Amino acid sequence: MLSKIHNIEEHYKANDYNGTSQLYKKRNFRGNVMLSAPHAVNQLRKGSIKYAEAYTGSMTEYLSDTHLICSITKTLNENDDANFDDTSKYRDEAVKLIKENGIKFLIDIHGASESRDFDIEIGTARGRNINYNDEIVDMFFTLAREYDYSKINVDELFTASNKNTVSSYVNEKTGIYSIQLEINKKYRSPDTEPEEFEKMLKFLSHFIVIIDNYLNSKKYLDVITISTGRGLNPFNKIELPNHYLEKHGLNVNEFVELINFKGESVCCKVVNSSDDNICVSLRYFEDYFKISDKASLFDAAYRDASILRPKVEVINNNKIFVTQDIYDIVKNKQMELINLRRNRRIIMDAELYPYLRSNKNGIYLNYYQRKLLGIEVPDVLSKEEFTDLNDCFMSDNNIDLTGGYYETDSINYKMSPDRTTEMFDKLSNYYRRSFCVVKWKSSFSSDEKLNIYDKLIGKQIIHLIAGRGYEKDDGNELVRMTANTIKLLGIEETDTVIIKHNDSEVRLRALSFESMDMEKIMRSNGINNCEDVEYLIGIPAKYRLKLGIHESGTTGVRVARDTKYLFVKNLNTQLLTIFGTIITITQLPIENAWIKGILAALSIPVVMNVVFSYERAKI
């Protein structure tokens, strides 16, 4: 972390912090939050030099890269002050970035002298720049307290009230939330105070995560410190003291969402703590809260439902069928399902189930969707998974699973071919309905329409689980999937696919997994059964983050072939065929040139339709 910070800061240090020839540096990403650092280099105010607020530029760039969010930093002293002058190219560019990328929140980062008697001051123009939303300041205070920052000022010395400050200007021009943060130098000195510097970066990172989730309409509850990990079973539990449950109106067996400073989230079932400590399972603590024990707490807002099997006649891998009562809630929206046992999520369009209209609270999932969600009993289980399942199944059914699985090595258990049909059916139903806890909630609006390329080429969509590919792929714009998935998409290797998660999407080239490295792919994605690789798409870490996916192997994405790319790819064939058709028409024994022209014009869409029939036939 610190070496990267130092490398970035060298750019601002150039020419004694006067910078280089470029006025500002920007990073373009769509999202909720944008960062700014207008005083990363020296500036001139009222004829006097104001020295650079060291490391505000490198901190901004680092956080922008970490979260893949929009940012702008001042990189050249033009004897101006972007946070004071009546006119400013920097401020105008910031507004342009905000409008282009759908930004909803600006954090303008500044540095204060070490002599200032505060850790951080937040400037809101006395509420005006945050549209008088006090909850934003409350969230900041709560997070700061958990990170042991006790001296927090609000609108005292640096209010950002002047109309020419970046935050006031942005709020006036765009109406979005804008805050100015003044960070004491003792937390911006990586050479002398490296631990304090790293803690400040974690704090800012966590604030970005909280704001991002808050703007995605999640109900914010609190920021907590995880005391320790305990041997909880099942492991998706959080122990909260009684006074904490009363404070937030939480009940035992409700679900909450915990999000760490990186943005990684887990859904946990609330249980009473035996003491005053807030605890999660050892597994969750090691995986999510070992580096930092701070977690932001949100209402999970998930609902219960019964998982049912649909009739064969309506099976559609890209739609989730639901009963009328659920459809009334999720109509025209996507639906998010989560398997709390495995922390696996899928998001798909919801459709009303056309049969059994009297049924209530039902979600119909076909086999493919159940495999994606991880609620089909696995053929291969790790030793830990088998022990967990066997203990629960034995407790509820008084049946020992050692007769249905056998130990293949010291790591895995495999389903026995000698198992009875009765045991398998009972285990399968138990695994889906009792062992795996599935919840749902409505997600983003479903308003996607077919474009001209989709109609000509033919659209094909497959839902897969976002996981890891090969290490060598991380620096390239490509994804990995099985050869069978590539065929089902109707594409060839190196063709472009569009990967979408919520309202984010990326376009990457598709390559297949190499058969000789299949075991490596299984290990890196925690897969025990080679058949489950069929449900996987290996996405480089950079693009998983851009899609808003902070952990691999847990989140479903929608993968579609890029019909515009395929249109351009076949352009030569189209042009030759169209040109040949036009030449043929001109040779017809028709004297009227207008008629020939009309025939030629009418023939073009017909020819294009015929040319692309080969691509449509692939799906």
| Same domain assignment for residues 184 and 240 | no
The total number of structural domains in the chain stands at 5
Same domain for 149 and 91? yes
In a shared domain, residues 292 and 332: no
pLDDT tens for residues 178-199?
999 999 999 999 999 999 999 9
Q: Are residues 149 and 264 in the same domain?
A: no
63 and 153 together in one domain: yes
In a shared domain, residues 60 and 195: yes
Tell me whether residue 536 is exposed, middle or buried, using C-beta atoms within 10 angstroms of its C-beta: 0 to 12, 13 to 18, 19 or more. Answer: buried
Residue (of 566, 332, 282) closest to 442 by Cα position: 332
Element of type H or E holding 95: helix 89-101
Task: Give start and end residues of each alpha helix (H) in 471-517.
Answer: 483-488
Are residue 550 and residue 406 in the same domain, yes or no? no
The pLDDT of residue 233: 62
- HSE-CB for 102 with a 13 A CA cutoff: 9
Asked which of 215, 239, 255 is the last residue of a domain, the reply is 215
- Mean pLDDT per 10-residue section of the chain, whose length is 619 residues: 88 89 84 94 90 95 92 93 93 94 95 94 96 94 93 94 95 96 95 94 95 88 86 76 88 87 86 87 86 90 87 88 91 86 86 86 92 89 85 86 83 84 86 85 74 86 92 88 93 93 88 82 82 91 83 87 88 69 72 73 71 78
Distance (Å) of CA 296 to CA 182, 218, 249, 260, 548: 23, 11, 17, 7, 17
CB within 8 Å of 612: residues ≥ 6 apart: 456, 457, 458, 567, 570
* Domain finish residue from 280, 301, 322: 301
43-45 and 48-50 strand pairing: antiparallel
Residues 65 and 162 reside in one and the same domain: yes
pLDDT of residue 573: 66
pLDDT at position 59 is 96
The domain that holds 110 is classified in CATH as: 3.40.630.100
81 and 121 belong to one structural domain: yes
Give backbone dihedrals phi and psi of 238, rounded to 5 degrees, phi first.
-130, 130
Range of the domain at 592: 570-617
In this predicted structure, what is the pLDDT of residue 174? 95
**249 and 115 co-located in one domain:** no
pLDDT of residue 24: 84
